[in-house]
Structure 1
Amino acid sequence: MDLSKLLVPGAVKVLSNVTSKKRLFQDLGDIAAACYKIDASETVDALQERESLGPTGVGHGVALPHARLDGLSEVVGVFLRLEKPLDFDAVDRLPVDLVFALFAPKDSGVEHLKALALVSRTMRDPETCEKLRANTDPSTLHAVLTEAQSRQAA
């Protein structure tokens, strides 16, 4: 599985005005709709439903929200760098500023889990997170994420 196939350059954004988890999910839904032609409101509902099972803030300022959706043929992602960290009920209680959301087809089994594992490994790398926090250009952020995976594979 290749991160550059999960994440198109247009699905990488820097946001400055996110004030709540609900607003974040709406932004994720809007970006996913624009990039992958999936229904924004269904995306928001699916993210909120998944979050109600337990927070997807994994610690160290990183959140990995994810949901399964109708209308998708493959796993896709959206990456957001938040200029102002957001309280996300993360496991370590620290606010989140790096968000990598994954959206998978309803019937995707192992592919969804492989994608989640790949993103999780990438976002656990302190060097990658440091580079992501040091940059505000979306194309640079996309390059950092896709290069991080190839560096890990070596």
Structure 2
Amino acid sequence: MQLSDILSLDCTHCAVQHSSKKKLLETISGMVAPKLVGIHRADVFDSLLQRERLGSTGIGLGIAIPHGRLAKANQPVAVLITMAQAVDFDAIDNQPVDIVFALLVPEDQPEQHLQTLSEVARRLNNKECCRALRKASTNQELYDIFLQDEPPCS
């Protein structure tokens, strides 16, 4: 599955203003829920929060990849957000987060979940990609940069 199959422009937001991890997860939940039939915002939020309780998905260098599984979901959905101001995310390096890629997948697709997380982590491990994402000034630009198959995010 291609990242373009799960990330849509309407789930890509540039320079979001939030002051907390909780508000950010609530925003992600509000973006994902309408994409999944029979899934409520609270279901998405609970899934993300449960995963965060196991350990922060802040992977360091200003990046977080919150993710969760949903029993009633019929397809994976992703959200890409850059923050206007970095927020505390309890990241492993104790640095605030300004790039967030969230992933919600059907509970019965663990292999796809891991493959997608691996691809996202590979892209976000690329310093040129992260630099370009941070410089993006529109949702469209952010979306295009993340999905391009040539540098910086290849």
SS at match of 1:18: coil
Q: How does 1:85-100 map to 2 (within 5 A)?
A: 85-100=86-101
Q: Distance in 2 between matches of 1:19 and 1:55?
A: 17
Report percent identity of matched pairs.
Answer: 34
**Alignment match, 1:12:** 12
Q: How many residues align?
A: 152
SS at match of 1:151: coil
Matched, 1:122 2:118: no
Q: Distance in 1 between matches of 2:16 and 2:113?
A: 29
- Where in structure 1 are there 5+ consecutive unaligned residues? none
- CA displacement at 1:109 relative to structure 2: 1.9
8 Å contact from structure 1 (residues 58, 90) kept in 2: yes
8 Å contact from structure 1 (residues 75, 115) kept in 2: no
Query: What's the Cα RMSD here?
Result: 1.6
Instruction: Provide the TM-score with structure 2 as the length reference.
Output: 0.92
- CA displacement at 1:135 relative to structure 2: 1.1
Q: Distance in 2 between matches of 1:114 and 1:70?
A: 19
- Where in structure 2 are there 5+ consecutive unaligned residues? none
Q: How does 1:1-154 map to 2 (within 5 A)?
A: 1-37=1-37, 38-147=39-148, 150-151=149-150
Q: Which amino acid aligns with 1:145?
A: F
Instruction: Provide the TM-score with structure 1 as the length reference.
Output: 0.92
